[in-house]
Amino acid sequence: MRKSFSSVSILALAALGACVALNACSGPQGPGTNQGQGDEKSGTIGLQLQIGGGLSLNTVSYSITGPGGFSRTGSLDLSSATAFSATIGGIPAGNGYSITLTGTTTDGSTTCGGSATFNVAARASTKVVVALDCHQAPRTGSINVNGSINICPQIDELSANPDTVAVGSSIALTGVAHDADNAPSSLSYQWTASPGTLTTTGSTATFTCTAPGSATITLSVSDGDTNPTCADVLTTTVNCTAGGTVASAAFIPGSTTEPLLKAGHFAGAKVCVDANNNGKCDAAENPVTTDANGKFAISFSGSAAGLIADIPAGASNTADGSMNPSRIVFRAALGQVSEQGTGIVLSPLSTEIVRLTEANGTDYATEKANLGTRIGVTGAQVITDPNLLVDGPQNAALREANILSNRFRYAITKLDRGDKFPDSLAVPGGNPELTGLAGVTPATATTVDTRAPITFAQAEQAAFNVEDVPRYDSIFIVMLENKSTQAMLGSRFAPKINGYLAAGNNFASYYATGNPSEPNYLALGAADDFGITDDSQWNCDATGANAPQDLPLPDKTQPGLGKSPFAATCTQAAAVNHNITGKPNLFNAVSANGMTWRTYNESMNPGQDVRTDSVTDPAVVAPDHVYAVGTIGGNTAAVGNPLLSLPMPAGLYKTKHHPGMGYQNVRSAPEFKYSNRTLGGGQWDPFLLASSDYAIPAGYDIDQFSTDLASGNTGNLNFVIPDQCDDMHGIGVTGTASSGSTTAIDCSSIGNNQPVATGGNIITRGDNYVDFLVKKIQASALWQNQQKKVAIVLMFDEGNATAPDINSCCGWKAGKTATDAPLVQNPDGTFSQDLSVNNYKNGNQGHGKSLFIVLNNQPSAPKGIADNDVYSHFSFVRTLQDMFLLSDPAKDGSYMNRSKYTEKFIAQNILNLPEYAGSADTHYDAVRPMNHKYVIPATYVQKGTLDDTRPLQVGADANQTNVWAVK
Amino acid sequence: MKSASEQVSAARQGKVARLSLRRFAAVSERAAQAACLGFSLLGAACEERVARGVPGPAKPAAHEQTVPRAHAPELSLLARVGKRLFFDPNLSASGKMSCATCHDPDHAYGPTNDLAVQLGGPRGDQAGGRAVPSLRYKEYTPPYADLLDNPDGMSAPGPGGGFAWDGRVDTLAEQAKLPLLSPVEMANKTPDEVVLKIRAASYAVEFERAVGHEPWGDPAAAFRAALAALQAFQLEDPSFHPYTSKFDLHASNKLGGEFTLAEQRGLKVFADPKLGNCASCHFTGAGLSGSSGLFTDFSYEAIGVPRNAALPSNQDASYFDLGVCGPLRADHPALVDAPNTFCGMFKTPTLRNTTNRRVFFHNGVMHSLEQVVRFYNTRDTRPELWYPNLGGTPKPKNDANFPSYGLVTRQYVGGTTQKYDDLPARHRHNIDPQMPLDGRKPGSKEPLSEQNITDLLCFLNTLNDDYTPPATPPSNGPCVH
């Protein structure tokens, strides 16, 4: 483009003053001579004055001087008249007077003045005519011109060769210009580029692409003219192309230790700028496709913001040679694209950065750093191709990439499926799909469905908030035993637990699902107890298809297990199978998704098989606990016998309290042995290495929990299981003493509904142990890393339910129908009863209400929330499935066992669920995630057992804040 | 209840099923019912009784759109034989007395009349020793133990479990042996005699098949099989544990289970340790083996039930029925001079289906539930209403305010009330001191008010099976407001 114009310097050397004489004269046009009436020795003068030309004077000052030093000044009011006359009296008669008049017109443009001489005759008016000269201000001017002319320079040509290169490569630039007058100076060349870098040598320059997309090169040529507009400017556009890889992770099942992951790439993935932000590479978006190594190169017609990899189902994952099971989209922030240029790594981690910036309203740099902090790598490693990382950073990146892949794949599944947003059980008020549904209590199903199909942006977030349960990195579920709400709430024997209750959040109507322990722990492992109603050993009546597969059984005939209490055979009258075989459960599900689980078990015998109960050990002897004044229920004297020696009793560790033990597929899992660990803090710990029962393994760690918290090697799902003294269960612990009691002060069993007034020493023991655990977890680097979401749950396996009232809720055995049975899903998606489970009708009957406290490590998370909707162990298992994305709310069958028994599911499958027929309150009977979305109707009176002595609530909660909310 | 058309249909199916019995091990409950018809063993009465003994599902409310399939649980072959045995009067010496004679399915498998003890024996004229208990809700009863864990998870272990009033047998099968061989009941002299009758019965072939071999050569084994069959029938047939009371609707969150105000108050009286404290022994919560709402904790207590002078066994003034310590069971013998903590203890029965029952306590001394409740309320405050007077003079006419609900209907002047007249003094320390029988002084305030008693009876009335919620809830009546 050629642009040129001449300019002339104009210099005003001087402004010429215009002097214009105006004839503003007055004349004898007034009213004539006045007759003076005053002093006979004085006379008056009459004045007449008229101004033409539209000018007007308001006042005219006069000054009269005369003989004998006469002097008078005054003003005459002309009142904007254009002519005036006035008479000035009292002037001594005499000769030689003069008068001067001055005045200015109202617009200030004209000044008038004049003078005259006169004589005064006594008692006569002397007519004086004053000629006024008026001078107007200047109105126009004229100039003198005195300048010089410079002809400006002209750019003839600006070339870029080539005009498209990859980021990091260079382009040669050449400019050609001329200046017709070669003055005032020789030409100078100024180059700029945005974005990009330049090296310049006069009329040539080298441009280097630093960011993908188009860049603007600007050349400015000056001939030295001081006027900047004289320089000629020309721009041209070049393209910087990008490239990179689409990285993948693959989880390889079967590890006996940590999850095994492999790095790779996705071949056949489409890469484009998703200009319309629909989560797809449309044809109009000119996608490129990754090669067999997952590489791509791409040029941009505009900004590179919105770069995605659209990985179709069937795309090859080179990590393990598998085919991508369903479409997934990776994203990269513009900042990352600019940073990496031709080495862009589109990965689950890059996608997570983008998602977080959108969720938090932050920027790329912030979330890159945060994600690095969360998984323990540098920000640079977060966006590095995991294939290029090694060791710990690679493992950390891959493990997270695998988890994120599952999340982002699920997001696209929701998008492509046209899910409504939010999930039906996450709609404020309650599930709108229930409204008007047959078989649902109408009063509890009133929410109108106003949802629309989910958008790409919504789906990306929804995959991390399944059924409004946020993703947590880790959860520590501290299992306590056998205390109803009534026994704990406000108990002076449990000040610490009550403190955590007040400081954290809680579920106020939480029900156990079985009685006694074992069915409740089974329910926590997989949302059913399969008809087990006792605490019997896990191989009892396990025959045929249910026969134990983890052979040999850990009985005392096995090498090294001489003191095993395990009975190799167990037959009971009721013939209820105790080895649950082939059922989905949390442990297998967590492992199958590349995550980890742990159970931390206190007071096992060193060297014992985790599948057996612990046994007494006379070689391990601990002193009784002694409680100082004021440390146990307000005691006024110390309690406990310092002289009492307590050999380690049998059954401190019980398999009935392991939520995975009853499941064959858990005990058979390759990671089973690795994942069951020790938990320290027990009364006998300091003496445990004196154990004589079994050979103590080399390097035996009696407190793997502390070790793991220090190393960060805890699991995603952690069941923390205190021994039968520290969990408040209670066993009779006796010993020998030279005097005083021979029974341990704080491990005797008390009632599940022990009144708080009488409490029980074991409650304080449990209270102290809970406090010890919580403080230990909260002191860990894991908890302190606020980029990780970590929760602690303090809960009881069961309450009490001695009252003649409702014992449970939410997936419970509602009624005593003899024919109910677990459901199995048929190939066509329908459900049928599995009639093979003996005694099923007796299971899942519940055991009352107990406390359920949630603490988390997020400083801005809401605190003090009480959710009084009804929930059960089955609700909790559903919540955990949502928390770790183990299930899909759109697929009932993806929820394990009774955790699928939502209100809608029950209504739709009522023929197979006769126990729920005729319900008075279908909301109460059904499972839902623990997300506080359901709003209790205004007149609804809460149901409740006498386990909770608080008045029954009427109507909704104080707020509907989610107990699990992280911000 | 089945509709008439369903019964006809069941009968047709039954004929088919009966013909195929020899080929198929499993037949439906309906078929078994119809088989009873087809063999004409008991005629129409059998059919009617069985039909009534197996209540249908509670009637759903009008707005319920979906009603589950009525799965009639199938009885095992053994249980079906047990059912035949249960209703077979030929198994008695008199030929007139079956299990069902005393344990009538229309009376919650309890007695049909208000006799303290039933009549039996070869000629049907021998009085039994104790009142006939209901056979309902026995499926969770554990074997007897001196220190049975209490199902409430809180109470100290104590004597509990087992069958009969004293727990002397551990299983329903063992229990069945007692009436079969008792000379004052079905009066078979030996097990072999029972087996011979079964061998001659119309269902002998079924019995053979159920036992799995030719049983007649080993009468002892055959007898055990018969007992097992009777047990299987009681465990498997829902009519023995229907859970169809209003309380069950309430406790399982069902339509029609909402308690009236009176029933709610009555529940509170029932459960409140400071009032009725009934739930302390008549445990209602979640218990052993998945049980709940049984209204018994299987425990044994001594509460000083007045002696029933009408019982033939009590004509001997030196005879005392002391429950767990004998004389019907021998493993906790009462010594003449020594205290025995088991003496005077009898089993806590379930309170289900009691408002229609007409005989109460082990000796059948009381005849209405209200009378029982008033005994609990005034045993200590007005013992003269319950125990005989010694040495006093009957008034010619009772005072106007002298209650009529007691066992003693004649007011006395002077004399001494023979409190705990059926428990020798050396065992009276066994008397349970819990509310409401807390041993308060005569003349002191009674634990329960008249309103409490009314309400409590209203609540207990919710424990009767076969409850159908009324289409329109009553707006008035003693148990409404």
pLDDT at residue A52, rounded to an integer: 54
> Closest Cα partner for A926 from B140, B300, B76, B253?
B253
Please check whether residue A207 is in contact with residue A159, taking contact to mean a CB–CB distance below 8 angstroms.
no
**% helix / strand / coil in chain A, to the nearest 5?**
20, 25, 50
A533 to chain B: closest CA residue: B289
pLDDT at residue A51, rounded to an integer: 53
As a whole-number percent, the residues of chain A with pLDDT over 90 amount to 75
Please indicate if any CB of chain B lies within 8 Å of the CB of A946: yes
Task: Name which of B68, B255, B284 is nearest A803 (Cβ-Cβ).
Answer: B284
pLDDT at residue A50, rounded to an integer: 52
Residue B473 in this model has a pLDDT that exceeds 90:
no
Cross-chain residue pair A533–B290, CB shorter than 8 Å:
yes
CA distances from A743 to A515, A644, A740, A915 (A): 28, 8, 9, 46
pLDDT at residue A622, rounded to an integer: 98
Please indicate if any CB of chain B lies within 8 Å of the CB of A531: yes
> Closest Cα partner for A782 from A695, A673, A881, A857?
A857
> Which uninterrupted H or E stretch holds A872?
strand A866-872
State pLDDT tens for residues B75-96: 999 999 999 999 999 999 999 9
Cross-chain residue pair A438–B60, CB shorter than 8 Å:
no
Please check whether residue A139 is in contact with residue A212, taking contact to mean a CB–CB distance below 8 angstroms.
no
State pLDDT tens for residues A845-901: 999 999 999 999 999 999 999 999 999 999 999 999 999 999 999 999 999 999 999
What single string gives the DSSP state of each residue in B80-131? HHHHHHHT-GGGSTTSS--HHHHSBGGGTTB-SS--SS-EETTTT-EE-SSP
pLDDT at residue B61, rounded to an integer: 40
As a whole-number percent, the residues of chain B with pLDDT over 70 amount to 85
Alpha helices in A663-730 (DSSP H): 664-667, 672-675, 704-711
User: A384 is written with which tokens?
Assistant: 């590095």
Cβ-based contacts under 8 A for chains A and B: 136
State pLDDT tens for residues A142-178: 656 566 678 889 998 899 999 889 888 899 999 999 9
Minimal CA separation from B77 to chain A, in Å:
17
Please indicate if any CB of chain B lies within 8 Å of the CB of A800: yes
CA separation for the pair A787, A967 (Å, rounded): 12
CA B328 to chain centre: 19
User: A450 is written with which tokens?
Assistant: 């106003």
Neighbour tally for A618: CB within 10 Å = 9
Please check whether residue A685 is in contact with residue A623, taking contact to mean a CB–CB distance below 8 angstroms.
no
Residue B294 in this model has a pLDDT that exceeds 70:
yes
Q: What is the mean pLDDT of residues A43-61?
A: 63
On average, the pLDDT of chain B sits at 86
State pLDDT tens for residues A635-667: 999 999 999 999 999 999 999 999 999 999 999
Angle at A799 between CA A793 and CA A802, to 5 degrees: 170
User: B26 is written with which tokens?
Assistant: 């499993």
Residues 6+ apart with CB under 8 A from A253: A260, A591, A592
**A110-124 burial code (b ≥16 CB/10 A, e <16):** bebbbbeebebeeeb
Please indicate if any CB of chain B lies within 8 Å of the CB of A278: no
Neighbour tally for A89: CB within 10 Å = 15
CA separation for the pair A505, A967 (Å, rounded): 13
pLDDT at residue A105, rounded to an integer: 72
Q: What is the mean pLDDT of residues A727-750?
A: 94
How would you classify the pairing of strands A505-511 and A866-872? parallel
As a whole-number percent, the residues of chain A with pLDDT over 70 amount to 90
Residue A9 in this model has a pLDDT that exceeds 60:
no
Q: Which of B71, B269, B350 to mutate to test the interface with A (most CBs of A within 10 A)?
A: B71
CA separation for the pair A749, A483 (Å, rounded): 11
Going by pLDDT thresholds of 50, 70 and 90, the confidence category of residue A757 is: confident
Cross-chain residue pair A816–B243, CB shorter than 8 Å:
yes
Task: Name which of B154, B271, B279 is nearest A752 (Cβ-Cβ).
Answer: B154
* Chain B residue numbers touching A482 (CB-CB < 8 A): 153
Any bridge partners for residue B169, and if so which? B163
* Chain A residue numbers touching B271 (CB-CB < 8 A): 803-804, 946
Please check whether residue A212 is in contact with residue A240, taking contact to mean a CB–CB distance below 8 angstroms.
yes
User: A727 is written with which tokens?
Assistant: 């969990």
* Chain B residue numbers touching A814 (CB-CB < 8 A): 252-254
Q: Which of A444, A484, A515 to mutate to test the interface with B (most CBs of B within 10 A)?
A: A515
B293 to chain A: closest CA residue: A804
Going by pLDDT thresholds of 50, 70 and 90, the confidence category of residue A684 is: very high
Residue B21 in this model has a pLDDT that exceeds 50:
no
On average, the pLDDT of chain A sits at 90
State pLDDT tens for residues A908-949: 999 999 999 999 999 999 999 999 999 999 999 998 776 788
pLDDT at residue B130, rounded to an integer: 97
Minimal CA separation from B102 to chain A, in Å:
26
Output DSSP code: residue A758: T
Q: How many residues in total does chain A contain?
A: 967
Cross-chain residue pair A803–B288, CB shorter than 8 Å:
no
Task: Name which of A442, A752, A910 is nearest B153 (Cβ-Cβ).
Answer: A752
pLDDT at residue B45, rounded to an integer: 34
> Which uninterrupted H or E stretch holds A856?
strand A852-856
Any bridge partners for residue B254, and if so which? A919
* Chain B residue numbers touching A755 (CB-CB < 8 A): none
Minimal CA separation from B294 to chain A, in Å:
10
Neighbour tally for A477: CB within 10 Å = 19
B69 to chain A: closest CA residue: A911
Axis-axis angle for helices A495-503, A761-778 (nearest 10):
50
> Closest Cα partner for A241 from A307, A173, A191?
A307
Instruction: Out of A410-414, A758-762, B328-332, give the one with best mean pLDDT.
Output: A410-414
Q: What is the mean pLDDT of residues B323-350?
A: 91
CA separation for the pair A333, A354 (Å, rounded): 6
Going by pLDDT thresholds of 50, 70 and 90, the confidence category of residue B72 is: low
pLDDT at residue B23, rounded to an integer: 32
Cross-chain residue pair A920–B279, CB shorter than 8 Å:
no
Task: Name which of B71, B252, B254 is nearest A819 (Cβ-Cβ).
Answer: B71
- 3-state DSSP assignment of residue A763: helix
State pLDDT tens for residues B149-205: 888 877 889 999 999 999 999 999 999 999 999 999 999 999 999 999 999 999 999
Q: What is the mean pLDDT of residues A269-278?
A: 97
User: A486 is written with which tokens?
Assistant: 């009534």
Please check whether residue A306 is in contact with residue A299, taking contact to mean a CB–CB distance below 8 angstroms.
no
* Chain A residue numbers touching B65 (CB-CB < 8 A): 438-439
Minimal CA separation from A744 to chain B, in Å:
19
Task: Name which of B61, B290, B293 is nearest A842 (Cβ-Cβ).
Answer: B290
Alpha helices in B171-239 (DSSP H): 172-181, 191-199, 204-211, 219-236
ipTM: 0.81
Please indicate if any CB of chain B lies within 8 Å of the CB of A811: no
Output DSSP code: residue A228: G
Please check whether residue A509 is in contact with residue A808, taking contact to mean a CB–CB distance below 8 angstroms.
no
Please indicate if any CB of chain B lies within 8 Å of the CB of A801: yes
Residue B427 in this model has a pLDDT that exceeds 80:
yes
Q: Which of B255, B289, B291 to mutate to test the interface with A (most CBs of A within 10 A)?
A: B289
> What is this structure's pTM?
0.83
State pLDDT tens for residues B100-114: 999 999 999 999 999
* Chain A residue numbers touching B256 (CB-CB < 8 A): 918, 920
